[in-house]
């Protein structure tokens, strides 16, 4: 059966079919090359919205032109080769012979680690700040104290627990301070070491201990321990004080008993100041009117609540009225009785006044001397105990000190936040707040540790300095209106 095929279209038929296509409407504008769709820019794909673009179209447009990529790679390769050639030994030898032939220099040894400061000064600003001193600064501070002060208080702990330290560490640090002050004092001055641990009525035993250098040292120590009734009356262990005692004996430094007699202390705690006879009151209180007025200081009430009443509560719990100054037991001939807060406060301020009176009596006859008073830390905190009383006595007694001297400074040894009455992990640097900084009291003029204090204790520390901080330029002078 024959297959019928469709004949191919001829040119005439093609033209006829094309001519049969209806022409475009006459109202449309003629096409031009500018109306053709333009290619999509490469950098526009980051802002494209989903649309009818095929993935192949997007990827082809996102790729840079091959010629551009090739030129970029060639430039990168040329730059790498140039860098390698610049660093090659041949290039260095030809262009920089000094660099090529130079032998590697010996590295300088690293500097020694910096010594962390142990001495800090409390700056009375708003808020209070701590000024640390370098080792050279420590010497400068002690040199300044020795030349401008008539009295320096050292506040020690009488039992284990201060700053991770105890009586032994405090005594070692106190010895270091005493040696430095003795070295830097003026030539016309003598150093006197006052001890709260030795009560005033045992002054002859202290004088004999220093003067009798021909006696065997161990025998002299035993005699002093027995004659001062150290174990029954003192709070500091005798062995802890031996380095200081030996230093005084060897250098001929006068020892001064500061402690209030246990019998007088027990009388006041039992019946008040009325329990003292006229002769006793005159012995312990050289300035009666100032003694009474001192408790009216703006911050004294807060000081008593924070640092005297807690001691009263601790002693009231054991119902001990007399005994050693550390509260070891009742005094001979005294019967324990319930404590009264008012009488306990009277005994405490009498204690501070009697120590200051002992120091001022020596300075009246030796106004050029420097007296270092080693006392319990509670007696010097915030300056409202013994330091303030000695300052008042220096003014009222009109002691003719040498020109440029007459200051009273305090150093708290190995303090902790608890020692300063702080309820946080930081040290409390001042007591009370007032419109005038003159009514505020620093915890002490200086804080000194046997080892670097914990960073968490320190608040507002400054950069260490090697000189003496100038009080004339201090913020305390500005805020208190003294400048």
* pLDDT on residue 65: 56
Q: How many domains does the chain have?
A: 1
Is position 77 within any domain? no
* pLDDT on residue 66: 55
Is position 46 within any domain? no
Distance separating alpha carbons of residues 140 and 337, to the nearest angstrom: 50
Q: How many CB atoms lie within 10 A of CB 129?
A: 18
* pLDDT on residue 7: 52
* C-alpha of 192 from chain center: 30
Is position 49 within any domain? no
* pLDDT on residue 415: 93
Distance separating alpha carbons of residues 365 and 361, to the nearest angstrom: 7
* pLDDT on residue 447: 96
Structural domain including 219 reads: 119-479
Instruction: State the DSSP string of 370-426.
Output: EEEEEEEGGGTGGGTTHHHHHHHHHHHTT--PPTT--EEEEEEES--TTTTT-SSSS
**Domain with 155 in it: what CATH number?**
3.40.50.11550
Backbone φ and ψ of 3, nearest 5°: -95, 125
* pLDDT on residue 5: 55
Is position 289 within any domain? yes
Is position 14 within any domain? no
* pLDDT on residue 18: 44
* pLDDT on residue 301: 85
Is position 90 within any domain? no
Distance separating alpha carbons of residues 417 and 426, to the nearest angstrom: 6
CB 59 within 8 A of CB 67: no
Report the candidate in 401, 389, 382, 375 with the shortest Cα–Cα distance to residue 288: 389
**pLDDT in 10s for each residue of the chain, 483 residues:** 455 555 555 444 444 444 445 555 545 455 444 444 555 444 444 444 444 444 444 444 455 555 677 777 778 777 776 766 666 665 555 555 454 445 555 666 665 554 567 999 999 887 888 999 999 999 999 999 999 999 999 999 876 444 444 678 899 999 999 999 999 999 989 999 999 999 999 999 999 999 988 779 999 999 999 999 999 999 899 999 999 999 999 999 999 999 999 999 999 999 999 989 989 999 999 899 889 888 887 788 888 888 888 888 877 776 554 444 554 444 444 445 567 889 999 999 999 999 999 999 999 999 999 999 999 999 999 989 999 999 999 988 777 777 778 899 999 999 999 999 888 899 999 886 555 666 678 999 999 999 888 888 988 788 888 888 765 544 434 333 333
Residue 327 has which token pair? 């509260």
- Side-chain-side CA neighbours of 275 within 13 Å: the count stands at 16
- List, in order, residues 6 or more apart from 417 with CB less than 8 Å away: 424, 425, 426, 427, 428, 457
Distance separating alpha carbons of residues 166 and 267, to the nearest angstrom: 30
Helix, strand and coil percent figures for the chain, each rounded to 5: 50, 10, 40
Is position 97 within any domain? no
**In angstroms, what CA-CA distances link 70 with 61, 67, 73, 239, 479?**
17, 5, 5, 89, 73
Is position 93 within any domain? no
């Amino acid at each position: 059966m024959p297959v019928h095929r469709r004949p191919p279209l001829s040119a005439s038929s093609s033209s006829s079919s094309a001519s049969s296509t209806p022409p475009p409407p006459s109202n449309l504008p003629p096409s031009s090359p500018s109306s053709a769709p333009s290619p999509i820019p490469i950098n526009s794909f980051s802002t494209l919205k989903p649309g009818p673009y095929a993935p192949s179209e997007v990827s082809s447009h996102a790729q840079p032109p091959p010629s551009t990529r090739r030129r970029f790679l060639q430039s990168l390769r040329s730059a790498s080769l140039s860098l390698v050639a610049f660093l090659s030994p041949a290039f260095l030898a030809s262009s920089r012979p000094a660099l090529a032939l130079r032998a590697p220099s010996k590295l300088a040894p690293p500097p020694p680690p910096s010594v962390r400061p142990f001495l800090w000064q409390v700056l009375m600003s708003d808020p209070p700040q701590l000024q640390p001193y370098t080792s050279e600064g420590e010497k400068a501070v002690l040199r300044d104290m020795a030349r401008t002060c008539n009295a320096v208080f050292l506040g020690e702990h009488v039992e284990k627990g201060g700053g991770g330290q105890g009586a032994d560490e405090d005594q070692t640090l106190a010895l270091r301070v005493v040696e430095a002050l003795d070295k830097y004092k003026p030539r016309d001055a003598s150093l006197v070491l006052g001890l709260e641990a030795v009560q005033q009525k045992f002054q002859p035993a202290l004088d004999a201990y220093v003067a009798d250098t021909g006696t065997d040292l161990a025998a002299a120590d035993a005699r002093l321990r027995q004659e001062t009734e150290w174990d029954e009356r003192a709070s500091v262990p005798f062995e802890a004080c031996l380095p200081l005692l030996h230093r005084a004996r060897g250098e001929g430094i006068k020892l001064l008993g500061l402690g209030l007699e246990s019998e007088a202390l027990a009388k006041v705690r039992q019946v008040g100041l009325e329990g003292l006879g006229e002769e006793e009151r005159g012995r312990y209180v050289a300035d009666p009117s100032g003694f009474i007025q001192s408790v009216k200081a703006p911050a004294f009430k807060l000081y008593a609540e924070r640092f005297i009443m807690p001691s009263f509560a601790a002693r009231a719990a054991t119902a001990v009225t007399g005994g050693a100054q550390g509260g070891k037991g009742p005094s001979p001939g005294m019967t324990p009785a319930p404590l009264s807060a008012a009488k306990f406060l009277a005994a405490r301020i009498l204690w501070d006044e009697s120590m200051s009176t002992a120091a001022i009596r020596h300075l009246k006859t030796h106004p050029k001397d420097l007296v270092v008073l080693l006392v319990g830390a509670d007696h010097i905190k915030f300056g409202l105990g013994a330091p303030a009383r000695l300052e008042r006595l220096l003014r009222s007694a009109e002691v003719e000190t040498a020109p440029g001297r007459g200051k009273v400074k305090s150093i708290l040894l190995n303090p902790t936040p608890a020692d300063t009455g702080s309820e946080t992990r930081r040290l409390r640097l001042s007591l009370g707040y007032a419109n005038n900084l003159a009514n505020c009291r620093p915890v002490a003029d200086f804080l000194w540790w046997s080892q670097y204090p914990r960073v968490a204790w320190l608040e507002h520390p400054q950069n260490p300095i090697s000189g003496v901080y100038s009080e004339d330029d201090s913020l305390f002078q500005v805020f208190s209106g003294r400048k």
